[in-house]
Amino acid sequence: MKQVEVNQLRAKLHRLDLSNEFIARYIQKLQDNGESYRVACKTIDRWEKPDSSQFILQALVCGFAAAMLGGWFAMVS
């Protein structure tokens, strides 16, 4: 891997809030195994977890909007 690719992988791993020691060991392991940048990116992307708080907030907002709309229709009818 080129140094630019290593830096991009390092940035991806930092966004996952991993320790610097783990990142250094993982990148060394990738280089020792001869992993390509593309395979390493796919592996790291699988580690990223969706933000469940956004899903919950979205469900609450939709529920609130439905309740308000239902109340308005009840008052109009």
Residue ranges covered by each domain of the chain: 3-76
The confidence band for 55, taking pLDDT boundaries of 50, 70 and 90, is: confident
- Distance between CA atoms of residues 16 and 11, nearest Å: 9
pLDDT at position 64, please? 92
Mean pLDDT of 23-41: 92
C-alpha closest to that of 13 among 75, 2, 55, 25: 25
pLDDT value for 53 = 75
CA distance 70 to 77: 11
Is the pTM higher than 0.75? The answer reads no
DSSP the chain: --HHHHHHHHHHHHHTT--HHHHHHHHHHHHHHT--HHHHHHHHHHH----HHHHHHHHHHHHHHHHHHHHHHHHH-
